[in-house]
Amino acid sequence: MSRGEELFERIKARNIAAIDDLIADAAAEQLFLDFKGSANTGLPRTLPTNDARHLAAAISGFGNAEGGIIVWGIDCRVDRVSGTPNVRKAPLADAMTFRARLEETLSRSSTPPHPLVENFVVLDGAGPGGYVVTLVPKAEFGPIRAITDGTDKYYIRAGDSFVSIPHDALAGLFGRKPRAVIWPQLTSHPVRRPGPLPGNGRVHVVLGIGLYNKGPVLAARPYVSVHPISVPTQETFHINAASNSFELRRSVQGNVQVVGREGLVIAPGGLEDLCSISLLYSAPVTSELRIEITVGTDSSNFEQFQLYASADDLTQAHAAALQGQSPQSIDLLHAKEALPHLT
């Protein structure tokens, strides 16, 4: 997950609190973060010209670099006396309407259009005022040119600004081979008893791991590596490949690799199940569970994250399952890093 995507997921999870943190830490994040106010605060029938130009430059600049986010509704004008940015909240009068205007403008803001741009609304209290956060991921399909009234340029992010790309840098971008963009996906199952066991019998936890291809090209030979860092001694721990399309290998240290066979690909917009993690354990539990996961494909980025459950979490889930409550495995095995989700 890129830094821009991490910031976007943080805002989706924490809303106003995350925006406050970004305002306080804007200098450290300036390569991936841009603040933008709107003179018309989201009320006109079309996106104001200045906002459309900034959107186009950001799609080109972030897309041609490593990606980033725009937070609309933050005034970041430079103080004429001190020469430093004066960052303050200037909420959009109607955040939902402003997002609609952005969505209407996206397809004609650049060439080629960037299909992975997303917008998220953060309301200020009950609304309708608030903020819109635009995620522009790195474009893996070639350089992007900004297209709006008075703008027809290639941009790149440099520090806290979008600047035109010089010829040599542009030539290098044209030579970049398109790559798939993958997102890990977790599939939850109920935590249950495997059978009518008496007393403190064992309970069964199953969590599926898959990959979603959000990029513009085929993702070849998907894989997942599962490394148990800490597993309570009373557990039975298994990794099962999702189908015969995968090879499964185990090391003596407990690491498991599930690798797609030659010819297995994930189409753009496709979701492929890779494996399932299976835990069978009894109570009381005296140590935590921690598993490191690495997922990727032969033609994409890779992602790493950890699944974690404390001894208390495991003990409580065990008791609930024995009482027939069936807690969900995705609530028990928490991802230590924020993961993107399909919408």
The pLDDT tens digits for 45-90 are: 778 888 999 999 999 999 988 899 999 999 887 666 666 667 888 8
Confidence class for position 150, pLDDT limits 50, 70, 90: low
More confident residue, 35 or 170: 35
DSSP secondary structure letters along 295-307: EE-TTB-EEEEEE
Q: Give percent above pLDDT 90 in the chain.
A: 43
Question: What pLDDT score was predicted for residue 143?
Answer: 83
Question: What pLDDT score was predicted for residue 245?
Answer: 94
Question: What pLDDT score was predicted for residue 84?
Answer: 66
Q: Which residue(s) pair with 34 in the sheet?
A: 70
3-state secondary structure at position 62: helix
Answer whether residue 343 shows pLDDT above 50: no
Question: What pLDDT score was predicted for residue 41?
Answer: 56
Confidence class for position 229, pLDDT limits 50, 70, 90: confident
**Mean of pLDDT over the chain:** 85
Q: Are 57 and 155 contacting, i.e. CB atoms less than 8 angstroms apart?
A: yes
3-state secondary structure at position 143: coil
Answer whether residue 341 shows pLDDT above 60: no
Backbone torsion region of residue 199, taken as left when φ is above 0, otherwise alpha when ψ lies between -120 and 50, otherwise beta: left
3-state secondary structure at position 150: coil
Structure token digits, residue 333: 């095995």
Helices 49-63 and 95-106: angle between axes, nearest 10 degrees: 60
For the CA atoms of the chain, what is the radius of gyration? 23
Domains in the chain with CATH codes: 3-174 (3.30.950.30), 182-335 (2.60.40.10)
What mean pLDDT do residues 250-259 have?
A: 90
What mean pLDDT do residues 207-222 have?
A: 90
**Distance, CA of 91 to CA of 297 (rounded, Å):** 41
Place of tokens 């597993």: 231
Q: Are 69 and 32 contacting, i.e. CB atoms less than 8 angstroms apart?
A: yes
Q: Which residue(s) pair with 88 in the sheet?
A: 75
Residue type, 74: I
Answer whether residue 173 shows pLDDT above 70: no
Which has the closest alpha carbon to 70: 54, 86, 85? Answer: 54
**Distance, CA of 49 to CA of 186 (rounded, Å):** 41
**Distance, CA of 330 to CA of 100 (rounded, Å):** 33
Query: Which stretches within the chain are classed as H helix?
Result: 3-14, 16-24, 49-63, 95-106, 167-174, 311-322, 329-332
Question: What pLDDT score was predicted for residue 199?
Answer: 47
Residue type, 59: I
Tens-place pLDDT, residues 2-55: 888 999 999 999 999 999 998 888 766 688 999 998 866 556 677 888 899 999
Q: Give percent above pLDDT 70 in the chain.
A: 85
